[in-house]
């Protein structure tokens, strides 16, 4: 038996706010008996004693990557990431008009294997950290994320429907692009 570690594949669940990313990430981790990386921003913002500022986004980006790196050794061939730094970039550009070049550099240096793009057909749930409940805004941000995954030149799947359908679609995409390639 070899002591060589199997190659780790990384799947990112990406999409606008309140589209079931965390739920899907957790379900996929359970299905594949692996770990998932929660969205670092949520806990970070909860710990702030004032509204977040642009500089916080760089710290959030660093924290997201550190969380991935910390959980990677526990992964079972597959690491499910509930977001990646493209979300921080989109968030920064929407709120501040640009993005810290350091975040852009971190995006360029990180590799993933598959994107699962969550659509806006899940009902909006209010949360103090969510900022764009309007259906037109949700569509606008979905289109931005769709452009990102298309331009990534990585395989990606459009995840729509109810929670069961989303899980089936995501499993099919992972099996097709990760395990059957």
Q: Which residues contact 103 (CB under 8 A, 6 or more apart)?
A: 57, 58, 61, 85, 88, 89, 92
| Residue 47 forms part of a structural domain | yes
In a domain, 4, yes or no: no
* Residue 150 near residue 156, CB atoms below 8 Å: yes
| Tokens found for residue 98 | 């640009």
Band of pLDDT at residue 13, cut at 50, 70 and 90: very high
**Beta bridge mates, 116:** 13, 157
pLDDT at 3: 40
Whether residue 113 is contained in a domain is answered as yes
pLDDT, tens digit, 9 for 90 and up, residues 73-131:
999 999 999 999 999 999 999 999 999 999 999 999 999 999 999 999 987 665 655 55
Residue 2 domain flag: no
Prediction pTM value: 0.92
In the chain, how many domains are there? 1
The mean predicted confidence, pLDDT, of the chain is 91
CATH number where 74 lies: 3.40.50.300
d(CA 60, CA 57): 5
- Is residue 3 a part of any domain in this protein? no
Residue 11 vs residue 17, higher pLDDT? 11
Tokens of 123: 């009902």
Range of the domain at 108: 9-179
């Amino acid at each position: 038996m070899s002591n060589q570690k199997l190659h780790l594949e990384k799947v990112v669940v990406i999409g606008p706010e309140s589209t079931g990313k965390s739920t899907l990430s957790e379900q996929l981790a359970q299905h594949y008996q692996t770990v998932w990386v929660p969205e670092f921003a949520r806990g970070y913002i909860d710990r702030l004693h004032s509204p977040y500022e642009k500089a916080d986004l760089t710290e959030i980006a660093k924290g997201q990557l550190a969380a991935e790196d910390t959980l990677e050794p526990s992964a079972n061939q597959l690491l499910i990431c509930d977001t990646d730094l493209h979300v921080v970039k989109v968030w920064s550009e929407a709120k501040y008009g640009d993005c810290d070049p350091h975040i852009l550099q971190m995006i360029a240096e990180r590799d993933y294997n598959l994107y699962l793009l969550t659509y806006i057909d899940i009902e909006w749930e209010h949360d103090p950290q969510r900022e764009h409940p309007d259906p037109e805004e949700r569509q606008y941000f979905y289109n931005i994320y769709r452009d990102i995954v298309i331009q990534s030149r990585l395989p990606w799947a459009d995840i729509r429907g109810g929670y069961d359908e989303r899980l089936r679609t995501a499993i099919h995409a992972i099996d097709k692009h990760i395990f059957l390639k």
